[in-house]
Amino acid sequence: VDWVGDRPVIIDQTLLPHELRMISLETVDEVIDAIQRLAVRGAPALGVAGALGVALACRLGGDEADVRAGAARIRAARPTAVNLAWAVDRVLARLPDGPDAAVAEAVGLLEADAAINRALSERGADWIQARVAGPMAVQTHCNAGALACVEWGTALGVVRSLHLRRGVREVFADETRPLLQGARLTAYELGEMGVPYRIVVDGAGASMVTRRLVDVVIVGADRIAANGDVANKIGTLPLALAAARVGVPFVVAAPESTIDPATPSGDAIRIEERDGAEVLGASAPAGARAYNPAFDVTPADLVTAIVTQDRIIEPARGDRPA
């Protein structure tokens, strides 16, 4: 995600890994469309894209009411990742100081992302290496890499930091049905990093943990409730259940902006339901219907550690993030 010529510029992630195409978003509607079709996705990237979308609305020259109306639509484009609403609100809070102040706030969020991710990744790598002998096998789910942020990544940022310390033997990337963020995006990033990896079907993940084929599970998060419950891509919960069963650390890597003090527990997190066509594809019989929740909630007692740029929280031991 970038800000070039007063426009948000994103990689169209729907085309990866086969094509690396940048697109410039020219209107608020284009920003919303890019968010909803997952051309830009992943909680931190959604936050920055949303913030830059509000900056774009400022630059398109409408009055304050127009900017606020556009911002409200961007904020509602996807419901689960709190970073989107958080970042839009941060930019809106500067609007009374004028459009330049709002644009500067959005660009500030863009520029801060890399350092935040590096900090949480180093902290996470330290915490894991103090507990897990390397070189280790890591299981991850969905894509929480540089593509899901601006740079470096969160869960995959921890993997990147561990890899630079020669601490990773192999990563197992769940393919992440139905949109294959793992098979397409995580595999692409691991290949670029030079980390050995294999893609596994989502249904393999939990039993790989209980068979102790992996030493640690590392995932990102879309929203972390005040009590430590964690919303992340659908299919995360089975990994946490399996990890708790056999005592494998289940680590969540996320910036502080993913912690939502206003959400007391996971029960209050709105889970996005997406179009059933994503699940049915071409293989289901005509007339088949689908249920397509995009996220699940892992209860705090299954979360060994939440790693942010500022701290380590251990919900399974009773720590609360907020």
Residue numbers at the binding site for ligand MRU (CB under 6 A): 38, 41-44, 81, 142, 144, 148-149, 154, 181, 220-222, 232-233, 294
Catalytic-residue membership of 222? yes
Identify which of residues 162 and 294 has a Cβ nearer to ligand MRU in the complex: 294
Helix (H, G, I), strand (E, B), or coil: what is residue 241? helix
Question: Taking the CB of residue 46, how many other CB atoms lie within 10 A of it?
Answer: 29
Q: Which two tokens stand for residue 165?
A: 């310390």
Q: How far is the CB of 273 from ligand MRU (least distance, A)?
A: 12
Distance in angstroms (rounded) separating the CA atoms of residues 245 and 163: 27
Q: What residue spans of 38-98 are helical by DSSP H? A: 43-59, 64-75, 82-92
Whichever of 59 and 75 has its CB closer to ligand MRU, that residue is 75
Residues 6 or more apart from 108 whose CB is under 8 A from it?
none
Judged by beta carbon, residue 58 or residue 306, the one nearer ligand MRU is 306
Region at 24 (left for phi over 0; alpha for psi -120 to 50; beta for the rest)? beta
As measured in angstroms, the least distance from the Cβ of 101 to ligand MRU is 28
**Strand partners of residue 200:** 174
**Closest distance of CB 43 from ligand MRU, Å:** 4
Q: Are 268 and 175 spatial neighbours (Cβ–Cβ below 8 Å)?
A: no
* Residue whose structure tokens are 């979360």: 303
Q: Quick check: helix, strand or coil at residue 198? A: strand
Q: Please state the closest distance from residue 53 (CB atom) to ligand MRU, in A.
A: 16
Determine the residue with CB nearest ligand MRU.
Answer: 220
Of the residues 222, 229, 260, 296, only one is catalytic, namely: 222
Residue 98 CB, shortest distance to ligand MRU, in Å, is: 32
Nearest CB to ligand MRU, comparing residues 86 and 95: 86
Cβ pair 181, 141 in contact under 8 A: no
Catalytic residue numbers read 222
